Amino acid sequence: MLLLMSVAAGLSVAGNYFAQPLLDVIGSDLHLSSSTAALVVTVAQVGYGLGLLLLVPLGDLLERRRLAVTLTAATAAFLTVTASAPNAALLLTGTALTGLTSVAAQVVVPYAATLAAPAERGRTVGTVMTGLLLGILLARTAAGLLAELGGWRTVYWVNAALMLLMAVLLRLRLPALRTPAGLRYPALLRSTLALFAQEPVLRWRGALGALTFAGFSVLWTALAFLLSGPAYGWQESAIGLLGLVGAAGSLSASVAGRLADRGLAHHVTGAAAFLLLGSWGLLAAGGAGGTWSPAALLAGVIVLDLSAQAVHISNQNLVYAVRPEARNRLNSAYMTSYFVGGAVGSALTSVVWGAGGWSGVCALGAALAVTAAGLWLAERLRRRRRTANRYAERGPAATGETAASVTS
């Protein structure tokens, strides 16, 4: 069942990323400028963000299996709209609607977390998220290979058929699960937004997630333009194969989940945030030209993906632990922040690429990484001050704490 949920999550989100290695060929086929073609990625992320805000909270209101199956079947239908799009308007419409309903993946993740024993929640979330992340990254590989075989539309037709199969399997295999919140839909949405005001962990981790995924989107939106340009001159299939390199980042999901089970989520976040900054130095060298450029580029992709996913999994485990009875709404709030960051990153990339090329893109990514590292440090200092204040107010005799525990 865990394997099925992982595959379903990966296939659900894959449709939002097929376009990234194909932006050049889609633009040529539909006569789009590079900035308009880049909007395909942005629109997918905006649609996904709206789905996170409007649809994922329904998991705390409706029976979750039915919700997951309905969203999965709807995604299959909207993928066919994208596959048959004759112009930019229908392409963007199909992409936005696919993004909206592909949040089935984010219904499945807290579903798995709820079914898991508390001591194994980190491992379970990490396993399902590994499937989701592989879907994001291998989508590029599948898109490139299938585009070579039958054109850019082929991958959307194939994914539509697979999503229909997933809808059937989820209906047959998943247990029914209802965790009613006792709220009507408008109140449910208000309570989701209210969580930002009520839960400091959600605010800090939502901001960290937004910055991290913005940097992730900056890389993968601009990479197709770099690799198809004069510096590399790669074909679509070769660009798509880079997703196999990026898929190494998904390995960090399971490791980060296990470390979260051991109480090390904050340490993982800090280490990953500083690795993100280093990855942009490698990526800048990868676009500079020269014998070592391809190696530097590949290393930068791997380090960035590993770091971004480690931050994300750590964030999710900390957020899910805040209020178990509101796990879908917490996931909705966090993931909305996350994908708003991704949409902003993609939109900025389309502007920065035109103005500054790959160097400008790397500067943008590095600035986002510096901000994320600074935010982690600020959160760390805040937690230490709060712990020290509690220790001072209550005293070690009352709390059973020692001075060493305050600085740990």
Segment 240-257 shows an average pLDDT of 67
Largest Cα span, the chain: 73
Is the pLDDT higher at 348 or at 134?
348
Q: What is the pLDDT of residue 360?
A: 94
How sure is the predictor about 176, in pLDDT bands with cuts at 50, 70 and 90? confident
Q: What percent of the chain has pLDDT over 70?
A: 89
Q: What is the pLDDT of residue 123?
A: 75
Q: What is the pLDDT of residue 403?
A: 41
Q: What is the pLDDT of residue 401?
A: 44
How far is CA 348 from its chain centroid? 17
How sure is the predictor about 405, in pLDDT bands with cuts at 50, 70 and 90? very low
Q: What is the pLDDT of residue 402?
A: 42
Q: What is the pLDDT of residue 394?
A: 65
Q: What is the pLDDT of residue 72?
A: 95
Residue 246 clears pLDDT 70, i.e. is over it: no
Is the pLDDT higher at 339 or at 212?
212
Q: Answer yes or no: are the C-beta atoms of 273 and 368 closer than 8 Å.
A: no
How sure is the predictor about 351, in pLDDT bands with cuts at 50, 70 and 90? confident
Segment 20-45 shows an average pLDDT of 80
Q: What is the pLDDT of residue 342?
A: 84
Is the pLDDT higher at 208 or at 382?
208
Q: What is the pLDDT of residue 312?
A: 86
Segment 278-283 shows an average pLDDT of 93
Residue 82 clears pLDDT 50, i.e. is over it: yes
Q: What is the pLDDT of residue 406?
A: 38
- The tokens describing 278, both together, are 């280093």
Average pLDDT over all residues of the chain: 83
Q: What percent of the chain has pLDDT over 90?
A: 25
How sure is the predictor about 53, in pLDDT bands with cuts at 50, 70 and 90? confident
Q: What is the pTM of this model?
A: 0.72
Is the pLDDT higher at 246 or at 262?
262
How sure is the predictor about 404, in pLDDT bands with cuts at 50, 70 and 90? very low
Segment 51-59 shows an average pLDDT of 85
Q: What is the pLDDT of residue 371?
A: 94
In this structure, how many other beta carbons lie within 10 angstroms of the beta carbon of residue 109?
26
Q: What is the pLDDT of residue 132?
A: 82
Top-confidence range, 179-188, 267-276, 364-373: 364-373
Is the pLDDT higher at 167 or at 176?
167
Segment 38-45 shows an average pLDDT of 81
End-to-end CA distance of the chain: 39
Q: Which residues contact residue 185 at a Cβ distance below 8 angstroms, ignoring those fewer than 6 apart?
A: 58, 61
Is the pLDDT higher at 74 or at 381?
74
Q: What is the pLDDT of residue 239?
A: 72
